[in-house]
Amino acid sequence: MNQDQLKQLVGRAALDHVPAGQVLGVGTGSTVDCFIDALAARIAAGAIAIPGAVSSSERSTQRLRSHGIQVLDASEVTGLAVYVDGADEIDGRGFMIKGGGAALTREKIVADLAETFVCIADESKLVKTLGRFPLPVEIIPMAAAQLARRFARLGGEARLREGVVTDNGGHILDVRGLAIDDPLAFETEVNQWPGVVTVGVFARHRAQVCLLGAADGVKTLRF
């Protein structure tokens, strides 16, 4: 199977983790698009009913609404049983790099509401050490040069993602050349730097379940 087929495979597999009758957290990205489409088909068939979803981006909000699924604001819920989202990288402990779609801040907000984070990804996203994928960092624009220098002292090369403004009005630095051996400590440190809105390491909000699409089917990893 090609990568698109693997995304569809895990998107459908994630439906087994959707709690009927409860508001669902929904992430962002091409794999999540497949999940939203599969969810809508399941709802249309009468196989599942949910009162709505909390979305992590305008992109996902539009896709959910196009299928007639009600989108709730995060402020309207006090918690979520499940949050379904993709990852740019995930390691063997459930720690992830996210933010390739520039929605990392809102993704962390929705993930923080959820009891269980279900990551859906193809097997190419599973890595031993985080950092092969350029690390996205949402920043306040005036801090870009200052933050690039700080990442350089860690051995990283930070570049501004041209033409990208997040749903929050922030900019994105992509940092290459890092090997993140201690994701929790790294996330805690970088989040304290002035000008950082959110770093794309998801350690405090790691996945509890990963549905990994492979040529021989979906592998379920639990952390």
Tokens representing residue 68 in the block: 């007639």
Residue 30 marked in a binding site: yes
Residue 78 marked in a binding site: no
Residue 86 marked in a binding site: yes
Residue 125 marked in a binding site: yes
Instruction: Identify the three-state secondary structure at position 214.
Output: strand
Residue type, 74: A
Q: How far apart are CA 194 and CA 202, in angstroms?
A: 19
Catalytic positions, written as ranges: 107
Residue 31 marked in a binding site: yes
Residue 100 marked in a binding site: yes
Residue 28 marked in a binding site: yes
Q: How far apart are CA 180 and CA 192, in angstroms?
A: 17
Residue 38 marked in a binding site: no
| C-alpha 56, offset from chain centre | 9
DSSP 102-148: S-HHHHHHHHHHEEEEEEEEEGGGB-SSBTSSPEEEEE-GGGHHHHH
Q: Which residue positions form the known binding site?
A: 28-31, 85-88, 98-101, 125
Q: Which residue positions form the known binding site for substrate?
A: 28-31, 85-88, 98-101, 125
